[in-house]
Amino acid sequence: MPRTHTETDALRLMHEQGYVLLRNILQPKRIDELRLAIDQLEPIHWDYQGLVDDHYKCVFNRDPFWLPFLDLPGVIELAEACLGADCHVIGQTAWRSHPGFVGGDLHLDYLAMELPEALLADPAFILPMQVCTAHIHLDRIDADLCPTQVLAGSHRAGRPPRPGETQWHGRAPEPVLCDAGDVLMFRSDLWHAGSRNRTTDRSRYLLQVHYGRRMVAQKFSPYLRWHFNPEVITAATPRQRRLLGDHEASEYD
């Protein structure tokens, strides 16, 4: 039986290694429903269906079906522990990565500011998180089905990887192998990379949810033409409405 992390364990790992794998978050029935829903998506605005991958942004706004995946039990508690009880969603993206897909090189997603590594090397210094991503896996991820590669502890580099850089402190990225229903949560300043789909007959189905602190802008395409789907807002729970941006008043409202 895979080890189940307590919320305290998971938060500690987010600070220490920059990521944590949460096991058995989704059950098979929900996995099947999600895969079918992704198959039924059609591209709008900046979405695309390519030769080797399909990418659909802001799917929470398509239909109330997607709302429960914004605050999955076992995931949302960690997001709030990492980013504050008033955190919100800055994106929800559905992906299919087909045979032949090539993942991105080593990178980080967002870095609020560069900091000297000497400061970050002090274990007493706790580096706050600004953005975290949840990879909700809908397949068993083995070495051939484009696993995400993570470089543990690299969020303490205080900078992005340089062109051609493939290691940090002598450590190389390692693939995250997991089961369908598991969720990989990682902080946006962690160095990570994609990998190839080396299979001939399997596509990786993945739902991403990006969480940010309240002061991190919600970037919902198509931006100036964005509007919330009234059916989604009506169906949302109070916590889901907050995640969509229905915050209490504060200093900058």
Higher pLDDT, 153 or 123: 153
Domain that holds residue 172: 5-158+168-244
Q: What is the mean pLDDT of residues 184-190?
A: 98
Structural domain contains residue 252: no
Structural domain contains residue 249: no
Structural domain contains residue 183: yes
Per-residue pLDDT tens digits for 19-55? 999 999 999 999 999 999 999 999 999 999 999 999 9
CATH number for position 145: 2.60.120.620
Instruction: Quote the strand ranges of 59-139, DSSP E.
Output: 88-97, 131-137
Confidence (pLDDT) at 1: 32
Structural domain contains residue 118: yes
Percent of the chain past pLDDT 70, that is, above it, reads: 98
Residue 238 phi/psi, 5-degree rounding, is: -55, -40
CA distance 122 to 24: 34
Structural domain contains residue 253: no
Structural domain contains residue 49: yes
Confidence (pLDDT) at 245: 96
Tell me the pLDDT band of 4, cut-offs 50, 70 and 90. low
Q: Is the pLDDT of residue 88 over 60?
A: yes
Confidence (pLDDT) at 3: 45
Domain count, the chain: 1
Which residues fall within 8 angstroms of residue 44, CB to CB, at 6 or more apart?
A: none
Structural domain contains residue 251: no
Q: Is the pLDDT of residue 250 over 90?
A: no
Confidence (pLDDT) at 144: 98
CA distance 249 to 51: 45
Structural domain contains residue 214: yes
Per-residue pLDDT tens digits for 134-170? 999 999 999 999 999 999 999 999 999 999 999 999 9
DSSP output for 127-178: ---SEEEEEEE-S-B-TTB-PPEE-TTGGGG-SPPPTT---BTTB--EE--B
In whole numbers, what is the pLDDT of the chain averaged over residues? 95
Claim: this prediction has a pTM higher than 0.85: yes
| Cα separations in angstroms, 59 against 22, 45, 161, 208 | 22, 12, 30, 10
